[in-house]
Amino acid sequence: MKSESEIGSYIEANRGELQAWGEVVVAEVCSVHSGLLKVPAAVRVKDPDSARKKQFKKQYKDPTVEMTDLVGVRFVVLTSADLLPILEAIRDSSTWTHRQTRDPDQEASADPAVFGYQSHHYELRPSAGAAWCCEVQVRTLLQHTIAELSHDAFYKASHVVPSQAMRLVARSIALMETTDELLCTAMQSARSIQAPYDAIKREAIFHAASLGGGGAELMDDLLEAYPSVFTYEGLDSFRAFVRERHFIFEKITSRSGNGIFGFPAACLVVYWIAEKQQRKVMKQWPFPASTDDLKMVLSDLGVSA
C-alpha cells in the first residue's frame, strides 16, 4: 500500500478496530492510575485527510505499519511527580511492545540551555495481532497547556513565526519548569503533614468504634487549629494516651450525643490535644459554640481552663 487514497480508505474501513486498540491502552493504564489524570484520556484515530497528506510527504512503503500515529492517546497528570506511575505502567505492560521516542529529561540533559516542547512520547504496538502503532503522550498539566497553546500557533503555523514570539514561548517553558518544581515541593510539604494526620485519624476512628463509631467529621478542623501535633511522634503519643486514659471513654459515653461528645473520634483527639497543649488549646479552639465542652474536657483531665 503506497498511495495516499489507499491509506485514507484503509483508516475509514478499520476505524472501529483502530479505536478499540487505543481503548485497550487507555483501559489498562486507567485501571490502576485513573486518579492521577487531570484530563480524561481519549482515543484519537488519525484523520484520513491528514494521513493522505502525511503519506504524500513521507512515501512510506507500508503506512499501516510505519505511520506511528494511526492511533493516539494522551495522559495528562498534575505535576512531574505524578508522571512515573504512568510511565512505568506503559513500560511494564505485556499487552504491547513499546519504544520511547521522546524523553524530556534526556533532552534537557543533552541540551540544558534549551527550553522547548516537553512530553514523553511512546510508540506502542500490540504484542499479538495487527502491527498498528498507537502514539502515547504523557505530560503534566502545565506542559499540556503550553503544548496546546503553541501547537497551532507555532508548530502548525502557515507563516513564519516571529523570533520574539518563539523566545516568549521558551521563557514560558522555563517558567513552567520552575512552577512545577515549586508545586512539587509544596505538595511534598503538604503530604508530610497529611500522612501522619491520616494515621491519627484512622487510629481515632478505630477506637471510636467502642463508643458507637463515627465522629471524624471534625478532624479537619482540628488539623487546621492544631497542625503541630499531627506528626508521626504525635501518632505514638496519641496511641499511648488512649491506652493509658481509659476513663475518657466513660466520660464520652456518659455525655454521648451532646456537643463535641457526639463526635467520638474527634472527641478522643480533643482530649489528647488538651493534655498536650494545655496553654494553647482554649485559645485556638475551632468551635466557639462548644467552648463549654472543652472546659469539661479540661476538667476531666485536671487542667484549669
Q: Which residue has the cell 475551632?
A: 286
What integer pLDDT is reported at residue 299 of this predicted model? 95
Are 222 and 122 members of one domain? Answer: no
Whether 25 maps to a domain, the answer reads yes
What integer pLDDT is reported at residue 153 of this predicted model? 63
Whether 271 maps to a domain, the answer reads yes
Q: Final residue of a domain: which of 144, 179, 207? A: 144
What integer pLDDT is reported at residue 296 of this predicted model? 95
Hey, what's the cell of 93?
505492560
Whether 157 maps to a domain, the answer reads no
Flag residues of the chain having pLDDT under 50: none
Are 13 and 89 members of one domain? Answer: yes
Whether 257 maps to a domain, the answer reads yes
Are 77 and 14 members of one domain? Answer: yes
Are 134 and 237 members of one domain? Answer: no
- Structural domain including 36 reads 4-144
Are 204 and 131 members of one domain? Answer: no
Are 195 and 124 members of one domain? Answer: no
What integer pLDDT is reported at residue 278 of this predicted model? 87
Q: Final residue of a domain: which of 127, 144, 161? A: 144
Whether 260 maps to a domain, the answer reads yes
Are 23 and 131 members of one domain? Answer: yes
Whether 100 maps to a domain, the answer reads yes
Pairing of strands 120-126, 96-102: antiparallel
Are 136 and 224 members of one domain? Answer: no
User: Could you give the number of structural domains in the chain?
Assistant: 2
* 14: Cβ contacts below 8 Å, ≥ 6 apart: none
Tens of pLDDT, residues 272-296? 999 999 889 999 999 999 999 999 9
Query: Helices 247-254 and 291-300: crossing angle, nearest 10°?
Result: 150
What integer pLDDT is reported at residue 229 of this predicted model? 94
Here the CATH number for the domain that contains residue 74 is 3.30.460.10
Cβ atoms within 10 Å of 176's Cβ, excluding its own? 17
What integer pLDDT is reported at residue 154 of this predicted model? 66
Decide if 164 contacts 101 (C-beta within 8 A): no
Whether 225 maps to a domain, the answer reads yes
Whether 182 maps to a domain, the answer reads no
CA distance 160 to 71: 30
Are 9 and 108 members of one domain? Answer: yes
Q: Final residue of a domain: which of 111, 144, 177? A: 144
CA distance 162 to 144: 22
Decide if 141 contacts 77 (C-beta within 8 A): yes
Are 44 and 124 members of one domain? Answer: yes
What integer pLDDT is reported at residue 180 of this predicted model? 94
User: What average pLDDT does the structure give for the chain?
Assistant: 92
